[in-house]
Structures are given as structure tokens and as C-alpha cells.
Amino acid sequence: MVTSFRRSLSFPNPPPAPKPRTAIHVRSASLPCRTHPIISHLRDEISELHSWSADARTSAWLCDGLRRLKSVHESLDDLLHLPQTRDSLRGADCSESNHLIEKLLEDFLRFVDVHGTFQTLLLRLKEEHSAAQIAVRRKDEAGVAARSKNLGKIAKEIGKLSSDFASVGKSADPPRKVYDEEAEILDVIDGVVEATVAVSNALFGGISSSAAFRKAPCMGLGFGRKTKSVKVEGGIREFRELDLENLRKKAEEDVKNASKKMREMEDRILEIEECGERAFRSLINTRVSLLNVLTQ
């Protein structure tokens, strides 16, 4: 990108004497600086994620958050691939900056590990849900109860993943100069870390607290019954409680309707799985790029 240029014109008379130059602060050639387009774009994306967190909690909302998170990490990956960025971070002559980058590497490794575990748990959740559908079609109440119990256990494990982020981004930052290019880069990375924690917690908490994956008083899965239910904040709207008690006594139409609802829920799980997989890969790429800053 060309930031400035000069035009040459021919004059019949000698050009006037140049004006005295005013004192200005000249940056070094180590870009990007605060006004670099990628940094500005990253800040805009992070700001949009803050707005996203206030939206309705649906499976589509979760997928949108994961797509936004993927985009944020792709932008950060682009920033880390710039030679100017690497020169700026490597050129820091203080051990505190190196310590910060090493802490960021630990944080991003934690992100990769936790989201990898989430993908594994979500696969198990999907398999148990499919098995529960088979039990519903067969009106196997014992099978439904067993699968419901397993779903609750897996959802609980997913909810516990948020605790792995307790130490992420908690290190004390050393004082930074306001106009230091390295500080600009580290600040925007801090913003990415904060956004990643927020989206991850919404993902894990939304699934684990959804009524369909909690252990209900009777069967744990429910659909269409007017029984007393517990409202859980943060649960995913489509994952409503399914009541599959006394399947043998239900009309065939009711069983078919329950099966249909479960298939729809399976589709939502698949969508979350696909979006989560893409976000997971972007986390890996960002961590590799950050590692390369120190090693290459």
C-alpha cells in the first residue's frame, strides 16, 4: 500500500526555498503501526464480537459466534505473517516482552487443547443422541433412560471446559509505551484472547446448560409434556426438554413427532460441530504462526 507520494512539476522559475521542517516524530521502518489496516480490522471484528454476545442464544447464534471467532483468528494469522510484525516482535530488547509472547503461546496452546477436547466430546454427544433416537423409535424406555444419562454426563464435561481458561490472559502486563508498535500488536492479540475466551465460554455453557442435555426428574429427555421444568439461563433455545416417558403408552403419532424433533436437534449439533471444527483449525494456525515469530 502506498501511503504517500510526490509529484514532480516543471516551473519556468526556480522553485521557492523549502519551508523549515517542523519537528515530528518519525517512526522506524518496523510496521505495522496503530493505523495499520489489519490491526484496525481486527479491532473492528473484536468489537463486533462484543455485540454478538448480547444476541439471542440459539444454535444459529452459536455458529455465528464461531464463524466470527474464525475470522478474527484468520486476521490475526495474517498480521503475524507480515515480516514487519515479526521484526517488531523479535526486535524487542527486553525480556518482559519475550515473557509476554511466551505467555501468549501458552494461552493459545490451551485454546487448541480445550477446543480439541470439545470436538471429541461433541462427537460423543452426537453418537449418544443418535443412539437415543433409535431407542425412541423402538419405544425402548430403558434405552432412552441410559442414553439420556450419558448425554447429561457428556454435557457436564463440556461445561467444565470453561474452567481450563481460568489462567488465560491473567498475567500482569509490564508498562508499555503508548506509541510503541510492539505494544499495539500485543494489545490487539490480548483482545483476540479475550474474545476467544468469551465465545468459548458461551459455546460450552450454552450446550451444557441446555435442558435437552440435563438430567430431568424422570427420564432426562422430554418433549411436549406440561411438567414443571427448570429454566436454565444460557441454554440453547432449540435444545428444548424432551419428555419421552412412558413411550409404550404414547400414540404412534406422538413418537414420530418426538423422533422428528430429535432429528432436528441432531442437525443443529452437526452445524455446531462443523463451525467448531473450522474455528478449531484457525486456532491451530494462529498458534503455529505465533510460534514461528519466535523460532524462525
pLDDT for 125 beyond 60 = yes
Q: Is 108 a residue whose pLDDT tops 90?
A: yes
At residue 11, the pLDDT reads 38
Cα–Cα distance measured from residue 105 to residue 114, given in angstroms and rounded to the nearest whole number: 14
Domain locations along the chain:
37-169+178-295
Express each pLDDT in 257-281 by its tens digit. 888 888 989 999 999 999 999 999 9
Query: Which 3 state secondary structure label does DSSP give 243?
Result: strand
Encode 95-109: b = buried (16+ Cβ within 10 Å), e = exposed: eebeebbebbeebbe
Percentage of the chain surpassing pLDDT 70? Answer: 70
In Å, what is the CA distance from 1 to each residue of 38, 162, 180?
Answer: 12, 41, 21
The pLDDT-based confidence of 173 (bands split at 50, 70, 90) is low
User: Which tens digits make up the pLDDT trace of 216-260?
Assistant: 433 334 333 333 333 434 578 888 666 566 666 667 777 788 888
Phi and psi of 138, rounded to 5°?
A: -85, -5
- Residue 57 burial (CB count, 10 A): 20
| Three-state DSSP state, 288 | helix
Q: Is the pLDDT of residue 140 over 80?
A: yes
The C-alpha cell 495499520 sits at 36
Q: What is the pLDDT of residue 118?
A: 97
Grid cell for residue 274 = 462443523
Helix (H, G, I), strand (E, B) or coil at 222: strand
Per-residue confidence band for 8, with pLDDT thresholds at 50, 70 and 90 = very low
pTM beyond 0.85: the answer is: no
Longest CA span, the chain: 104
What is the total residue count of the chain?
A: 296
Most confidently predicted of 27-41, 203-217, 256-270: 256-270
Q: What is the pLDDT of residue 261?
A: 84
Angle between helices 181-208 and 141-160 (to 10 degrees): 160
CA distance 116 to 288: 15
Mean pLDDT of the chain: 77
Tell me which range, 21-25, 60-64, 84-88, is most confidently predicted by mean pLDDT: 60-64
Give the number of other CB atoms < 10 A from CB of residue 74.
Answer: 16
* Rounded CA separation 200/211 (Å): 19
Q: Which residue do the cell numbers 449418544 mark?
A: 128
Predicted confidence at residue 144, as pLDDT, reads 86
Confidence label for 75 from pLDDT (cuts 50, 70 and 90): very high
- Asked which of 27-31, 135-139, 203-207 is least confident by mean pLDDT, the reply is 27-31
Residue with cell 452426537: 126
Mean pLDDT throughout 129-151? 89
Residue appearing with cell numbers 430429535: 262
